[in-house]
Structure 1
Amino acid sequence: MSQPRKPPAPIKTPCIQVCVVDGESGLCLGCHRTLAEVAAWARFSEAERERIMAELPSRRGRIRPEKLGLFG
């Protein structure tokens, strides 16, 4: 009898389910990723995802504060 297959490990994501892209910065107001990054997230390697996630806090400064305030 073969072993049952384990489900794949969940992919870490910065998504907070506030999916609104700021036209000025090109970043999602929720997670601060670009549309291209959001679309390709599942195809990125773990190392690529970790690199992007490390950049996200500094990207927040590219979005005008009044826009960020719309979503808490």
Structure 2
Amino acid sequence: MNRQDRVASPCVSICALDEQDVCIGCHRTGDEILRWTQMSNDEKREVLVKVAQREQAVSL
């Protein structure tokens, strides 16, 4: 797999988990952060959908 095919991490270098175990920077759970490098691209895309939903919920 070449570099262009990889799904980029949503990390923004603001690493702090809230009381729901969700990072306030990238909106991934602690488990999603830990497992990111072992996930397939499909799994990463699924996480990114959840990240977008979490981010939208916070901004409401």
Q: Which has the larger radius of gyration?
A: 1
Q: Could you say which structure has the higher helix fraction?
A: 2
Q: Distance in 2 between matches of 1:37 and 1:55?
A: 10
Percent identity of paired positions between Structure 1 and Structure 2: 27
Which segments of 5 or more consecutive residues in structure 2 lack a partner in the other structure?
none
Partner of 1:18: 14
Matches within 5 A, 1:11-50: 11-23=7-19, 25-50=20-45
* TM-score between both structures, scaled by the size of structure 2: 0.77
Which segments of 5 or more consecutive residues in structure 1 lack a partner in the other structure?
1-7, 66-72
The count of residues paired between Structure 1 and Structure 2 equals 55
Conserved 8 A contact 1:11-1:42:
no
Q: CA RMSD of the aligned region, Å?
A: 1.8
Conserved 8 A contact 1:19-1:28:
yes
- CA deviation profile, 1:38-59 (whole Å, cap 9, x unmatched): 0110000000001110121211
